[in-house]
């Protein structure tokens, strides 16, 4: 029983971060149709910005205010320059999706190589809110609770933004039918760039939250990209609530498998991924 509580709580405490990265990828892949292999690199950059600022005396949680908007801008500009031209030059969406996947691969190597040049490959860590808290008889670090709370708050705020605001509704409309959204007067290139920017910002924010809990390395990005791809498939492509819930589900499964055999965690993600593709390719919340 204790073991189950431990696994579920531990899973929920990492799940919030998975949710955040996956909501980001869901925007980039589900709406903007870019399978962004470099998604985890934005996370890594967010984590290292936090590390660097922390070394210079800035409170790590404050970097949310810097890291989020900064990575949003990078993502937005990147879409407006690279991916918009790919989209406009592609004769159909299939070509656009495969070409932008290739571009994202390039981005992955570029960002990672630069990061390795600057920060090297040794894992870095700093101590922040490291005292332990007892929940249901299990001990957890305070920083993991704070990170999860922030992840849930950011996720919920974004959900409300999509449901309630003019731009949010335009994003949801563009996810369903970009051409018709255009008929309504929605500037599609702008909205897709917004989605890509928000996606990058969420990865960056997840990176900030990861850095306050776990050691970080410049090569950690790809693992999180894989997690995000699995969760987005699990939750239903383009479904923000699906990604949110899916993140927690994968967190619990991952924690369970890790307890049993840490070496099989990533393998288990892929098993889930393949089963989903075979049994329910549209995911739990997919339409």
Partner 1 sequence: MLEINNINAFYGRIQILWDVSLKVNEGEIVALIGANGAGKSTLINTVTGLLRSTSGSMTFMGKRIDRLAPHVISELGMSHIPEGRKLFTEMSVRENLELGAYPKSAWKTKKETQEHVYEIFPRLKEREKQLARTLSGGEQQMLAMGRGLMSKPKLCIIDEPSNGLAPLVVLEVFKIIQSLRDQGITILLIEQNVRHTLEISDRAYVLENGRIVMEGDCATCLASEHIKKAYLGL
Residues that bind partner 1 (CB under 8 A): 166, 169-170, 172-173, 176-177, 179-188, 287
Beta carbon of residue 238, minimum distance to partner 1 (angstroms, whole number): 10
Q: Identify whether the C-beta of residue 128 lies closer than 8 Å to the C-beta of residue 55.
A: no
Q: How far is CA 198 from the centre of its chain?
A: 10
Beta carbon of residue 182, minimum distance to partner 1 (angstroms, whole number): 5
Q: What does DSSP say about strands 132-135 and 138-141: parallel, antiparallel, or unpaired?
A: antiparallel
Looking at beta carbons only, is 167 or 274 nearer to partner 1?
167
Looking at beta carbons only, is 126 or 190 nearer to partner 1?
190
Beta carbon of residue 103, minimum distance to partner 1 (angstroms, whole number): 24
Q: Identify whether the C-beta of residue 212 lies closer than 8 Å to the C-beta of residue 146.
A: yes
Looking at beta carbons only, is 103 or 181 nearer to partner 1?
181
Looking at beta carbons only, is 199 or 236 nearer to partner 1?
236
- Which H or E run contains 142? helix 142-164
Looking at beta carbons only, is 191 or 201 nearer to partner 1?
191
Beta carbon of residue 141, minimum distance to partner 1 (angstroms, whole number): 40
Looking at beta carbons only, is 59 or 187 nearer to partner 1?
187
Which value, to the nearest 10 degrees, does the dihedral of the CA atoms of residues 158, 161, 164, 165 take?
Answer: -160
Angle (nearest 5°) at CA 174 between 168 and 180: 125
Tokens of 215: 């050691």
Residue among 55, 10, 88 at smallest CA distance from 256: 10
Tokens 């731009």 label which residue? 167
Longest alpha-carbon distance in the chain: 59
Looking at beta carbons only, is 81 or 165 nearer to partner 1?
165
What are residue 245's phi and psi, to 5 degrees?
-70, -45
Beta carbon of residue 43, minimum distance to partner 1 (angstroms, whole number): 29
3-state secondary structure of 183: helix
Please, which residues have CB within 8 angstroms of residue 120's CB and are 6 or more apart in sequence? 218
Phi-psi region at 177: left, alpha or beta (left = phi > 0; alpha = psi -120 to 50): beta
Beta carbon of residue 168, minimum distance to partner 1 (angstroms, whole number): 10
Beta carbon of residue 31, minimum distance to partner 1 (angstroms, whole number): 13
């Amino acid at each position: 029983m204790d073991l189950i509580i431990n696994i579920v709580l531990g899973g929920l405490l990492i799940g919030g971060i998975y949710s955040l990265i996956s909501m980001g990828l869901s925007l980039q892949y589900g709406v903007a149709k870019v399978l962004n292999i470099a998604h985890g690199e934005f996370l890594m950059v967010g984590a290292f910005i936090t590390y660097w600022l922390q070394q210079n005396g800035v409170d790590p949680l404050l970097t949310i205010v810097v890291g989020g908007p900064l990575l949003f801008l990078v993502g937005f500009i990147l879409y407006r320059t690279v991916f918009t031209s790919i989209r406009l030059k592609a004769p159909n969406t299939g070509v656009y999706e495969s070409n932008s996947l290739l571009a994202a691969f390039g981005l992955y190597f570029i960002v990672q190589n630069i990061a390795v040049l600057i920060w090297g490959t040794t894992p870095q860590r700093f101590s922040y809110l490291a005292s332990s808290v007892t929940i249901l008889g299990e001990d957890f670090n305070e920083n993991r609770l704070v990170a999860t709370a922030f992840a849930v708050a950011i996720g919920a705020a974004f959900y409300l933004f999509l449901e309630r605001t003019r731009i949010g509704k335009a994003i949801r409309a563009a996810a369903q039918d970009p051409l018709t959204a255009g008929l309504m007067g929605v500037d599609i290139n702008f909205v897709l760039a917004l989605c890509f920017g928000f996606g990058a910002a969420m990865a960056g924010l997840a990176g900030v939250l990861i850095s306050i809990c776990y050691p970080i390395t410049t090569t950690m990005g790809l693992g999180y990209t894989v997690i995000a791809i699995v969760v987005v498939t699990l939750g239903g492509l383009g479904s923000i609530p699906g990604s949110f819930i899916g993140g927690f589900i994968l967190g619990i499964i991952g924690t369970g498998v890790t307890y049993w055999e840490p070496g099989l965690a990533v393998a288990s993600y892929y098993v889930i991924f393949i089963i989903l593709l075979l049994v329910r390719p549209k995911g739990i919340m997919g339409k």
